[in-house]
Amino acid sequence: MRVLVGDIGGTKTGLALAEVSGDQVHLTGAARYPSREHADLADIVRRYLDETGAMVGAGSFAIAGPVVERRSKTTNLPWTVDAAALERALGFAHVHLLNDLEAVAWGVAALGTDDLAELQPGEPSGSGGNACVVAAGTGLGEAGLYWDGSRHHAFATEGGHTDFAPTDEREFALLNHLQQRFGRVSWERVVSGMGIGNLYAFLVEWHQAEHPPTVARAIAEQGDLPAAVAEAAAGGCPVCAETMALFARLYGREAGNMGLKLMALGGVYLGGGIAPKNLDLLRRGDFLKGFADKGRMRPLMERMPVRVILNQRTPLLGAARFACR
């Protein structure tokens, strides 16, 4: 089956043509477009079809936000994406919409060994088992994979918006700091790109520290603060190093929460853009300490395989598999 697949983000929209055979997906004609330069998704798809000359009658699009009754109000774009309206506008026989993390979950089965980096081998269950995806990027996305005895079924959640829970004096101070800024504090406020910025702001205040030059410049120029903090951490800035270590521990804690709730003996997969860029950080120990820190459930957590998804086209692979499910 051939289908047009898309990964709709607040900054970029990626499109490609997908051929699906079983769990295997072959992508061709990949292209990316600035999302905000277009009035809606139909406008981008028309441009892609005009530029490539592709002939296709079905589309499957992964969207950052909840999808309800074949419609989605995009989180970071002024768009409402409606599958039925897209079918009419594009002349497609079928248009499928799914949450972007659900798409990543659908894409896991299409990944090869080179697409994954192992953080914890665990004890893979020979009979399968549930799995999950936890993805820190611009926000925090989470999805599940239910094992029916023979294969996985992906499903969306909005788990990244559940309540953040502190466990020690520093984290209680962090919660108080963030409550003063935001009121309610979700896990996304601490485990995401914005979360790195929030953790850094708290720790600078907590330690009464000064900004290192690269971070000060990013703040003044409204640049990429998380990247600047990570760079300064590698350069020896103590408060930046503490920020990244705390981020890794909290990422591990929430990934462990998701794994525990879904009994994810089939694997916990880390998606999003932050994990692949920070493999050394995640392998230093703070992430897995946070992941396994579940009291009496520690032995269970240590049985769960934990892997980082390296293939950034996984949402496109999953959108294709979803369309052919």
Q: Where are the domains of the chain?
A: 2-106+313-323, 122-304
**pLDDT tier at 10 (50, 70, 90 boundaries)?**
confident
Q: Report whether pLDDT(269) > 80.
A: yes
Closest CA to 264 of 230, 293, 226, 305: 305
Structure tokens at 217: 């410049």
The whole-number average pLDDT for the span 33-60 is 94
Could you tell me the pLDDT band of residue 166, with boundaries at 50, 70 and 90?
very high
pLDDT at 9: 83
> What would the mean pLDDT of 23-33 be, rounded to a whole number?
93
Determine the pLDDT at residue 21: 86
CATH architecture for residues 2-106+313-323 = 2-Layer Sandwich (3.30)
Write down the mean pLDDT value for the chain: 94
- pLDDT 10s digits, 50-94: 999 999 999 999 998 889 999 998 877 888 999 999 999 999 999
pLDDT at 126: 64
Mean pLDDT, residues 272-291? 96
Q: With bands split at pLDDT 50, 70 and 90, how would you rate the model's confidence at 127? A: low
Full-model pTM: 0.93
The pLDDT of 185-204, averaged and rounded, is 97
Q: Was domain 122-304 assigned CATH 3.40.367.20?
A: yes
Rounded to whole angstroms, the Cα distance separating 131 from 10 reads: 27
Which residues, at least 6 apart from 19, have a Cβ–Cβ distance to it below 8 Å? 1, 2, 25, 26, 28
CA dist., res. 117 & res. 122, Å (int): 13
pLDDT of residue 83: 96
Whether 124 has a pLDDT exceeding 80, the answer reads no
Instruction: Report percent pLDDT > 90 for the chain.
Output: 89
CA 69-75-78 angle, to 5 degrees, is 95
pLDDT at 238 over 90: yes
The length of the chain is: 325
What's the CA gap between 252 and 105, in Å, rounded?
19
Average the pLDDT over each of 53-57, 105-109, 121-125, 279-283 and give the range with the smallest value.
121-125
